[in-house]
A = this chain, B = another copy of it.
Amino acid sequence: MSDTQNPVNPSTPVGPAKGYRRIATEEAWAPPELFRQYRKLLESRVVDDPGFNTMWSFYLGSPSDRARSIIEKIQDLGEQRIRDMDAAGIDVQLLMLTSPGVQVFDAPTAVSLARDSNDQLAEAVRRHPTRYAGMAAVAPQDPQAAAKELERGVRQLGFKGGVINDHTLGEYLDDPKFWPIFEAAEALDVPIYIHPNTPPKSMIGPFLESGLDGAIYGFAVETGLHALRLIVKGVFDRFPKLQIVLGHTGEALPFWLYRIDYMHRATVLSKRYESVKPLRRKPSEYLRENFYVTNSGVAWEPAIRFCQSVLGVDRVLYAMDYPYQFVADEVRTLDAMDMPDEDKKKFFQLNAERVFRL
């Protein structure tokens, strides 16, 4: 029994869509050097991050079909990836450095690796300008350098925004020390994609012991927490034009709009926490106007349409999550969603073109 799920069968390609391009907006890549550095970290045991250790000892060490296939595909920025895109009917991939990117290294290593990987990605986009687009990797460990690298990525390399793989060794972007990154994003008028990571050490215990720390659940609640922290700490009052992109149908935050508003108001009014201060707007308003969501990993019409209904059809974008979730049947299913043609075109194409200026 294979452990690759519903693999794409190249003999029955999905083919072009009728009336829209399919732009996949949360697609992963990694340079061999990153994995060499991950292996060093794993061997030296210097990183006190159980989530990193379990995730990357699995992908880099497991003999399973899933791990080997992903490690092979994720490093390719050439013909293999494009063959897979063709087989699955994907016109364009928006590429970003896989999680946790450079966010587990000391600052100088992280800054250097971000720069090198961005140069490599830019080169691949230059080779395949109609098929690839890129997001800039940055090293939040050095916020000023991260802001500069975002600017370099956008202005010089043609990237469409930045990707931050969730917490940086347990630190979250609501800490004002990281805000030069948001300031740069707002000034450049580009979005920041907050991609999941495993929960940090201070949170992962009950997830890890039950095997639920990864994409099955831990990723989502950890990344949702990160986004909510940005809201309640007032990031969007300080940077009202900042746009954040979340994958995985918004890490379920769209599902929680009502409860978050209710309980945020109750918390503020009762002055329960020093850290929870009044905001200019309701949390749901920031979620509707400062966030975009993609459906990476959630090729499921009910959740996609729910997001469209509560955030608006202009706020929900298509993503495949290649190579972690490479399933041609998912594309066919989404092509067949019961949705007005214009909304489907927004989902697959127009929103991505607008948000990422493709």
Contact = CB atoms under 8 A, between A and B. Distances in A.
Interface string A9-21: 0000000000000
Nearest to A302: B310
Interface string A234-274: 00000000000000110010011111101111110111110
Given A255-B252, A272-B58, A306-B302, A266 B5 contact: yes
Contacts of A263: 214-216, 297
A169 to B, nearest CB: 12
Contacts of A297: 259, 262-263
Contacts of A67: 270
25 contacts: A3-B266, A3-B270, A58-B270, A62-B271, A64-B269, A167-B206, A200-B206, A202-B205, A202-B206, A203-B203, A203-B205, A203-B206, A209-B275, A210-B275, A211-B267, A212-B225, A214-B267, A216-B228, A216-B263, A221-B221, A248-B259, A252-B252, A258-B300, A259-B298, A262-B297
Interface of A: 1-3, 5, 58, 62, 64-67, 167, 170, 172, 174, 199-200, 202-207, 209-212, 214-217, 220-221, 224-225, 228-229, 232-233, 248-249, 252, 255-260, 262-267, 269-273, 275-276, 297-300, 302-303, 306, 309-310, 325
